[in-house]
């Protein structure tokens, strides 16, 4: 069974060779790792210390030792995890697992002695520039932050099993979903639990495995993205989720404002435990037609 799968990979690589392709270089491998592995295998909290976000990290291996061996590519721990010969199978978020051509590229690259990338190709995949002062921030600008710092937990089969609070940060619709409650209120960063959590205004602060937290630059970019209307990757503003429920906590800084963000409190708002200015409070509310927040309940914590 295992041999048959290895055989299929070898045939694919052989076919690629016939088509005139040279042995894959690190750029091809890095693209696969970036899409499927780096969300977990990077930074301080990389599982078993294995960082897959650079060639140095990959060749350094994990706390258990090297994960790639040119003299035994198929027997390398990296390949064994990808094929499920060693458990838990990777990527931990699978299925889906890597497909046969992706596995073949990685195996061929290891067997070829793990050649570095062609510098010209690497330059082309350097990080995209941040939008300038006058430009609108879109989902494409913030998605890489969610992918590398949040999706390892906020996904199905992530590090914590099911996504915490049912909140997935793996796609634009999931991030904006109002199914249970909204965590992003387009145009109102201060009422968006997502922003409140990364700033530490709502607790526990995110990412849950921090510090390190997001840096000020990343937080400011996400704040601008929400303020600009939480646009999709094409730059189109998100519709206001009228009637969607939300819930967050913070400090009462005015009558009525939470950490400076105004909320409407009316005759229908249930107010518990007489909150006073400076108190920590929990707000439950709904999004009004104009995007403002109507509090349904305000409770001192």
Contact residues for ligand HEC, defined by CB under 6 A: 36-37, 39-41, 47-48, 50, 62, 64, 67, 77-78, 81-82, 88, 90-93, 98, 149-150, 152-154, 158-160, 164-165, 167, 169, 181, 183, 193-194, 197-198, 204, 206-209, 214
At closest approach, how far in Å is the CB of 139 from ligand HEC? 13
Residue with Cβ nearer ligand HEC (158 or 241): 158
Which residues touch 20 (CB under 8 Å, ≥6 apart)?
none
- Residue 195 or 265 having the CB closest to ligand HEC: 195
- Between 41 and 224, name the residue whose CB sits nearer to ligand HEC: 41
User: Two tokens at 74?
Assistant: 């198929």
Pick 31 or 277: Cβ nearer ligand HEC: 31
CA of 72: how far to CAs of 66, 77, 78, 79, 233, in Å? 12, 10, 11, 10, 42
Whole-number minimum distance, CB 267 to ligand HEC, in Å? 28
CB of 277 to ligand HEC, least distance (A): 25
Does residue 22 contact residue 120 with C-beta atoms inside 8 Å?
Answer: no
Task: Work out the end-to-end distance of the chain between its first and last CA atoms, rounded to an integer number of angstroms.
Answer: 58
293: Cβ contacts below 8 Å, ≥ 6 apart: 185, 188, 191, 246, 261, 262, 263, 264, 283, 285, 286, 287
Token pair, residue 26, equals 């690190």
**Number of CB atoms found within 10 A of residue 201's CB:** 19
Nearer to ligand HEC, 203 or 276 (CB): 203
- Least spacing, CB of residue 123 vs ligand HEC, in Å: 24
Contact status, residue 272 vs residue 245, Cβ threshold 8 Å = no
User: Shortest Cβ distance from residue 222 to ligand HEC (Å)?
Assistant: 8
């Amino acid at each position: 069974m295992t041999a048959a799968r290895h055989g299929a990979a070898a045939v694919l690589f052989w076919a690629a060779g016939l088509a005139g392709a040279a042995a894959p270089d690190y750029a091809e491998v890095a693209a696969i790792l970036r899409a499927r592995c780096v969300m977990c295998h990077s930074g301080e909290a990389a599982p078993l210390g294995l960082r897959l976000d650079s060639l140095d990290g990959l060749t350094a291996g994990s706390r258990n030792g090297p994960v790639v061996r040119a003299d035994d590519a198929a027997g390398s721990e990296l390949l064994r995890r990808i094929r499920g010969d060693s458990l838990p199978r990777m990527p931990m978020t699978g299925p889906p697992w890597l497909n046969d051509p992706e596995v073949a590229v990685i195996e061929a690259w290891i067997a070829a002695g793990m050649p570095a990338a062609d510098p010209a190709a690497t330059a082309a995949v350097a990080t995209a520039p941040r939008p300038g002062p006058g430009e609108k921030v879109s989902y494409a600008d913030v998605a890489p932050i969610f992918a590398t710092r949040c999706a390892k937990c906020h996904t199905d089969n992530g590090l914590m099993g099911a996504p915490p609070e049912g909140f997935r940060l793996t796609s634009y619709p999931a991030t904006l979903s109002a199914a249970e409650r909204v965590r992003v209120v387009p145009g109102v960063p201060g009422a968006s639990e997502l922003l409140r959590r990364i700033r530490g205004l709502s607790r526990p602060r995110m990412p849950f495995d921090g510090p390190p937290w997001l840096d000020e630059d990343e937080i400011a970019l996400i704040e601008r993205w929400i303020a600009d209307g939480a646009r999709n990757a094409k730059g189109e503003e998100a519709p206001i989720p009228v009637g969607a429920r939300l819930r967050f906590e913070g400090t009462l800084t005015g009558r009525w404002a939470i950490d400076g963000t105004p909320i409407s409190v009316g005759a229908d708002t249930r107010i518990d435990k007489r909150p006073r200015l400076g108190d920590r409070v929990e707000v439950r509310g709904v999004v009004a037609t104009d995007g403002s927040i109507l509090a349904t309940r305000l409770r001192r914590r």
